[in-house]
Chain A
Amino acid sequence: MENNEKFKLQVTELATRVNGEVEESFGVLVLKVNAPYIIETLTAAKQFADGPCDFLHDLCGMDLVDHFEVVYQLTSLRGSQSLRVKAIVNRENPVVDSVTRIWQGANYLEREAFDMFGIIFKGHPNLKRIYMWDDFEGYPLRKDYVTEPIELRNITRTRIEGE
């Protein structure tokens, strides 16, 4: 990208505004912010003057043991700019604002992150489990989720007398 420097400047400016940190990983800028700033950050990224990141490419949760992260991959259909925004979410109280008001496409992705990590997206129209069944207990992709050992998987029920 030609105006790479300009783009980088915008991101760093945004980072100071939302108390975030900027890193670079494999040529992609990574902006880490705290969960309460996420709507402000993403709205600003969508309206960048040079290279707006207006396409939500992916949204996923991540478990870093002491906290969660929600990772937003932003790109654009009209340029090669891309930005990765990470929202740092408290593990005890995993709440983050839903971005479905900015991108409707976040609907299923947020439901998936809720299903797998138990991250609650405030303002989501229909926050229900998407892959697992409704009364499933636990959040499978958390690092502390105990997958049952293979020996226990096909438990044959012992027959009770008189049954």
Chain B
Amino acid sequence: MSINETEELILNMGPQHPSMHGLFRMVIHLEGETVTKIVPKIGYLHRGMEKLAESRTYAQFIPYTDRLDYLASPHNNWAYVQTVEKLMGVVVPERAEYLRVIFGELARIASHQVCIASTALDMAGWSAWSYAFRDRERICDMYEMTAGSRLTVNIMRIGGISAEPPAEFWPALQSFLDDTPEMLEEYYGIFFGNEIAQGRLKNVGILSKELAENLSITGPVLRASGVNYDVRKAEPYSIYDRFDFNVPVRNGCDSYDRTIIRMDEIVESIKIIKQALRDIPEGPIMAKVPKVIKPPVGEVYHRVENPKGELGFYIVSDGTTKPARVRIRPATFINLQMLPIVALGWKIQDVVAIFATLDAVLGEVDK
């Protein structure tokens, strides 16, 4: 081969690559440094959740949902138990609903902090990573106080919530809420305001509004492409219709907006938690639920706004104690479809940036 000829290079990234968020692998075809084709390979973490659900009772499946999007485990519990409650017609006590909102929004903040931190880390911003993780620890502490575990919290039950937060939870939450404006300023200063971060993220990986809708993309990725859609507003579940909050929308459609929109969402989550703290009533935290859970024959589809997109559960009951079919609609699995389309023509380091802004958690992608 003469020196002027080029040949296509195939680069294997992952499954154990530092910038892959979990066990994700992609085969990148390169022309020089420019990407000509991406073949994502998933399934390294596939545990067959949907099959496992068919051999377990309704309550036994709750801990499995923690292992979906393990960075926001209360949300997955919440989506699942709400689906079963809808099927059974259980009315959850007021206090439990408020506690669910508080834990759900805390999980959203924690998940977005991880997204910001890991995007920074993928852009080689080591110190920015430590700031967001430092603050996330405080949320994990609050989980630990209440539920006993820090990552897979397993806090929701069919009919309510597992435990009343202890006395020290409330001051910890209050001081966390008081410190958030300062935290966000720090993230902005160290990461989003950084010239290198902006250079690496701005105008990289444009996902147009039409393409996003056609690809069934949901969550912050969709909203960063200029679509104002949030299930909490469009089809309010739980008690979200009682809170006053905005849906952050950005029109940049690029990697920068897909990341910074999560900062806006943290601000809105803080607003919701503050309102929930103001309005939370006293009372029981568990509804009266039969010991043996046996929903009537029927099927129900329920979706919630997870930090990373819409998580849906489709449960078909045949009247026995075990579900006939549990379908999980993973948000990031579907969002991931944009990667081979959007990343074409960009350089390798841009592929890393685009993948980071998707905030994929492979526990959810692989189920």
Contact = CB atoms under 8 A, between A and B. Distances in A.
Given A103-B216, A104-B215, A108-B334, A133 B50 contact: no
B250 to A, nearest CB: 16
B298 interface: yes
Interface string A56-80: 1110101100000001010001001
B366 A56 contact: no
A109 B43 contact: no
A130 B45 CA distance: 12
Closest 3 CB pairs of A and B: A105-B216, A131-B43, A105-B215
A62 to B, nearest CB: 6
Interface stretch (B109-117, B269-277, B299-307): B299-307
A57 B325 contact: no
Contacts of A133: 43
Given A105-B337, A140-B48, A58 B43 contact: no
Given A57-B329, A108-B333, A140-B51, A71 B314 contact: yes
A73 B301 contact: yes
Sort chain B's interface into a size bin.
Answer: 35 or more
A9 interface: no
Given A60-B329, A73-B301, 13 more contacts: A26-B86, A57-B312, A58-B312, A58-B329, A60-B314, A71-B314, A80-B235, A104-B211, A104-B214, A105-B334, A131-B42, A131-B367, A132-B46
Interface string A139-162: 011000001000000000000000
Nearest to B47: A131
Contacts of A25: 298-300
A55 interface: yes
B337 A108 contact: yes
Interface in A31-48: none
A103 B212 CA distance: 10
B147 interface: no
A11 B316 CA distance: 23
Nearest to A61: B327
B167 interface: no
Nearest to A84: B301
B48 to A, nearest CB: 6
Contacts of A80: 234-235
Contacts of B87: 26
A99 to B, nearest CB: 11
30 contacts: A28-B301, A55-B213, A56-B216, A57-B303, A57-B312, A58-B312, A58-B327, A58-B329, A60-B329, A62-B316, A73-B312, A77-B213, A77-B222, A77-B227, A80-B234, A103-B214, A103-B216, A104-B211, A104-B215, A105-B215, A105-B216, A105-B217, A105-B337, A108-B336, A131-B42, A131-B43, A131-B366, A132-B43, A132-B46, A147-B51
Nearest to A115: B43
A92 B215 CA distance: 31
Most buried by B among A56, A58, A63, A109: A58
A43 to B, nearest CB: 14
A80 B213 CA distance: 16
A104 to B, nearest CB: 5
Contacts of A12: none
A116 interface: yes
A107 interface: yes
B243 interface: no
Contacts of A141: 50-51
Contact of B325 (A28, A55, A62): A62
Contacts of A131: 42-43, 46, 366-367
B310 interface: yes
B43 A60 contact: no
B245 interface: no
Interface string B202-216: 000000000101111
A60 B327 CA distance: 7
Contacts of B366: 131
B169 interface: no
Nearest to B211: A104
Interface in B27-44: 42-43
B229 interface: yes
Nearest to B367: A131
Contacts of A63: 325
Nearest to B222: A77
B216 A55 contact: yes
A55 B329 CA distance: 14
Interface in A124-140: 130-133, 140
Interface string A91-129: 000000000000111111100000010000000000000
A109 to B, nearest CB: 7
